[in-house]
Amino acid sequence: MEGLSLEEKIGQMLVVGFHGYKAPEHILDWLSEGRIGGVILFARNVDSPHQLAELTKTLHGAAKNPILIAIDQEGGTVARLRVGYTESPGAMALGAADNTGLTEQVSGVLATELRALGINWNLAPAIDLTHNIHNPSVGTRSIGADPEHVTRHAVAQINGFQNSGIAATAKHFPGKANTPVDPHVELPVIEGRLEEMWSTDLVPFRAVCDAGVAAVMITHVQFKDIEPTYPSTLSSRIITGLLRKKMGYKGLITTDCMEMKAVTNKYGPGESAVLAVTAGANTVLFSHTREYQEEVYDALLEAAESGRLSERQIDYSVQRIADVKQRYPAKPRPPLSVIRQPSHLEVTLRAARAGLVLLHNDRRLIPLKQDERVALLEFASHLEQPSLSRSTPTVFSSLLKERFPEYASVWLDPVAPTSAQIKQAEQLTESDRVIVATRNAHLSPVQKTQTERFLGRESILVCLRNPYDAGIIQCETTLLTLGDSTPSMQAAVEALGGDFTPSTRLRVPLTM
């Protein structure tokens, strides 16, 4: 912090993203001038491990001051690094396995690969509880519904990341378990009482703060009982009053991406950034738009020069940022050969097997017989880039095809399947064994209706995302992967083939 100009101090508080596999010139210029303190990466920036390692080397090399390079690598559904990297089961699968040592190992695997790539800040884990099956943005990202259970695994995840040299981030404070809408789309408003949150949502956050988590991310949710005016990201009552003072947290506080509509629908980029920092945030994330990033820097600098942001407050934030950078430096890097090394793949597959739930097998249809004609009807978004954090129909289908010689499949759009897709699926229902694989049918009436139409007494329901599909769709043979990462789908195929019989029990209620 010593020797930084005011302009550089303001830059330390700004974390930005960009599009493409190479850093644009303006990003390199900002780094060399000290105008930004960090960069956030997405799947859009990732082509291969070698390319990504070179990109981060370029970013670190261009920076006048040390920087944080951040990514969302939760594992499971939210993972920016997929093909070519070690994928891991998601938080709910780890919670179902309920082995904190294994949870810590999985996080250590992810952290080791991030370090090899030059990334030193992981925007994970999500330690929200799951209270509401209709919540569109938590689901299998959550460890579970019980605060003590979530706490044990949250601490294990953070230890796994940080003991392996990566700054971890507990999100989304103060908890978005009950959000009825996605903050990417609009501002969720929660009516719950703070006194209730002390024994539910806030329990894991208190524990990880005490355990020394490097950063806490604030969510774009308005909690009316605590803050009648602002979303949490802009609320001094929540950031300074609740997190800093009542909970005693002394680490780095960051916003979620400030370009979400929960914020931008009401506040401009510059004003929202100033409000967030005034409320107590140390870094603000603007992940996508150059014009917003420029406006934010200018607005923060103007607020500092006018006295709206005090020098003491700025220095406090810069010190929190500097502490994380000193504790989690980008060098030395492990060699790129650690990526997808056999021991990493073994750990994540073992975790996926341990997190697989055979909910029903009343008719003993699992394991499948090798000579059966197997048909897969899979609801999945068809994407060109499987590295994106969305479903892709290729992995589960490919794994089944390798296992069963008499095999056919069709993928259906999970929101609006076409008549051609439905017709092809109907033809495949004549197979000996029909597997219907859903992805969040509990949030899609069309998917639910079509799934019920395709299922027969000799069918198998495989819920590849949230387990709540099994709460609204009745099937005598039901398998829950608790996320559609590659190891979770591989474990499901192994169970279908009889390699092992899942013995894990589901640790979240199917209806809430």
| C-alpha closest to that of 356 among 496, 227, 188, 255 | 496
Helices H / strands E in the chain, number of each: 19, 18
Rounded distance, CA 134 to CA 195, Å?
24
Mean pLDDT of all residues belonging to the chain: 94
For domain 6-337, the question of CATH label 3.30.70.260 is answered with no
Residues of the chain with CATH 3.20.20.300: 6-337
User: What is the structure's pLDDT at 457?
Assistant: 86
Mean pLDDT (whole number) for 289-317: 97
260 phi and psi angles, rounded to 5 deg? -70, 150
Burial class (CB in 10 A: 0-12, 13-18, 19+), 316: middle
User: What is the structure's pLDDT at 403?
Assistant: 93
The conformation of residue 388, written as its DSSP 8-state character, comes to S
Burial class (CB in 10 A: 0-12, 13-18, 19+), 501: exposed
CB-based contact 435:444 (threshold 8 Å): no
Burial class (CB in 10 A: 0-12, 13-18, 19+), 194: middle
User: What is the structure's pLDDT at 388?
Assistant: 38
The conformation of residue 163, written as its DSSP 8-state character, comes to T
Chain centroid offset of residue 445 CA:
25
Reduce the DSSP state of residue 469 to 3 states and report it: helix
CB-based contact 161:111 (threshold 8 Å): yes
Mean pLDDT (whole number) for 286-293: 97
> Tens digits of per-residue pLDDT, 223-236?
999 999 999 999 99
Active site residues: 184, 256
Task: Using alpha carbons, list the distances in angstroms from residue 190 to 117, 180, 231, 237, 258.
Answer: 39, 8, 10, 15, 19
The answer to whether the peptide bond before residue 174 is cis (omega within 30 degrees of 0) is: yes
Run of H or E residues at 479: strand 477-480
**CATH class of residue range 356-496:** alpha beta
User: What is the structure's pLDDT at 392?
Assistant: 53
Percent of the chain with pLDDT over 70: 97
Q: Which pLDDT band, with edges at 50, 70 and 90, does 64 fall under?
A: very high
Q: What is the SS3 string spanning 292-329?
A: HHHHHHHHHHHHHHHCCCCHHHHHHHHHHHHHHHHHCC
The DSSP bridge partners found for residue 283 are 254
> Tens digits of per-residue pLDDT, 418-436?
999 999 999 999 999 999 9
> Tens digits of per-residue pLDDT, 188-214?
888 888 999 999 999 999 999 999 999
> Tens digits of per-residue pLDDT, 30-44?
999 999 999 999 999
Q: At what angle do helices 269-279 and 311-327 cross, to 10 degrees?
A: 80
The DSSP bridge partners found for residue 79 are 73
| C-alpha closest to that of 436 among 450, 423, 424, 416 | 450
- At residue 389, does pLDDT exceed 70? no
Q: What is the dihedral of CA 154, 157, 159, 165, to 10 degrees?
A: -140
Residues of the chain with CATH 3.40.50.1700: 356-496
Residues 6+ apart with CB under 8 A from 116: 49, 53, 333, 334, 335, 336, 338, 339
Tokens matching residue 99: 């082995």
Q: Which pLDDT band, with edges at 50, 70 and 90, does 383 fall under?
A: very low
| C-alpha closest to that of 435 among 418, 412, 468, 417 | 412
The answer to whether the peptide bond before residue 344 is cis (omega within 30 degrees of 0) is: no
Higher pLDDT, 95 or 392: 95
Mean pLDDT (whole number) for 166-172: 98
Q: Which pLDDT band, with edges at 50, 70 and 90, does 134 fall under?
A: confident
Mean pLDDT (whole number) for 297-304: 98
The DSSP bridge partners found for residue 358 are 479
Predicted TM-score (pTM) of this structure:
0.94
Q: Which pLDDT band, with edges at 50, 70 and 90, does 512 fall under?
A: low
Burial class (CB in 10 A: 0-12, 13-18, 19+), 258: buried
> Tens digits of per-residue pLDDT, 249-282?
999 999 999 998 888 888 999 999 999 999 999 9
CB-based contact 426:449 (threshold 8 Å): no
Residues 6+ apart with CB under 8 A from 213: 158, 162, 168, 169, 170, 251
